Amino acid sequence: MLKIFINPNKFNNFSSFILMPLAILFAITLATGLIFVSLSPDDYQQGSTVKIMYVHVPSAWLAMMIFSIMTIYSIVALAFKIPFGFIINSALAPVGATFTLICLTTGSLWGKPMWGTWWVWDARLTSVFLLFIAYLLIIFFRRAFSNLEVGEKITAIFVIVCSVNVPIIKFS
C-alpha cells in the first residue's frame, strides 16, 4: 500500500481513480451541510447572524492547525535536512492564508451587528491578523530569494518563530 504513495506514476493513477468518488462525496456533504445550516434555528439574541459561526469557527481552527503543521514540518526539515518539509510549507501557506482571510472576513461580518463595529483591536483579532500577515510573508519569502535553499531555510526559521502566535490566538 505504501508503494502507491512513493511511486509518482502509481500515485497519479491512484489519484485519478479516487478523484471522482471524492468529488461526489464532497458535493453530497456540501449539499447536506447547506441544508442543515438553513434549517438551524436563529439564536434568540444574535438572530440569523449566528449562522456565520458555521464558517467562521472551522476556518479559524484550520488556520491555526495549518500553521502548526507548517511549524512541525519546518522543524523536521531543518533538523533532519528533509526537503519535503519545505515543499509542504510552500504548499500549505496559501491554503492557511485563505482560511485566515475567511476567518477575518466572517468575524467582521459577525462583529458588525454584534458589537456595532467591523473591527475591535482586542488580543484575539489582532493576533489572527498577525497570523494572516505571517502567512503572506511566508508566501513572499518563498519568491524573494534567488537561492532557493537559503529562502527555504529562512522561511522555515520564520515559521518557527511565528509559531508563538498560535497559542496566543488559542488562549486569548
In the chain (172 residues long), the average pLDDT of successive 10-residue segments reads 66 87 95 90 81 91 96 93 87 96 93 86 90 96 85 94 93 85
Residue 63: predicted pLDDT: 97
**d(Cα 135, Cα 168) in Å, to the nearest integer?**
16
What pLDDT sits at residue 127?
95
Output the CA–CA distances (angstroms, integers) from residue 157 to 129, 138, 164, in the order listed: 20, 10, 12
Q: How far apart are CA 131 and CA 100, in angstroms?
A: 7
pLDDT value of residue 6: 60
pTM for the model: 0.84
pLDDT of residue 137: 95
Task: Find the Cα–Cα–Cα–Cα dihedral 15, 77, 80, 61, rounded to 10°.
Answer: -80
59 contacts 99 by C-beta, under 8 angstroms: yes
* Torsion from C-alpha of 8, 29, 87, 164, nearest 10 degrees: -160
Grouping H, G, I as helix, E, B as strand and the rest as coil, residue 122 is coil
Residue with cell 482560511: 99
**The pLDDT value given to residue 45:** 80
**Is 26 in a helix, a strand, or coil?**
helix
Strands (E) in the chain, as ranges, are: none
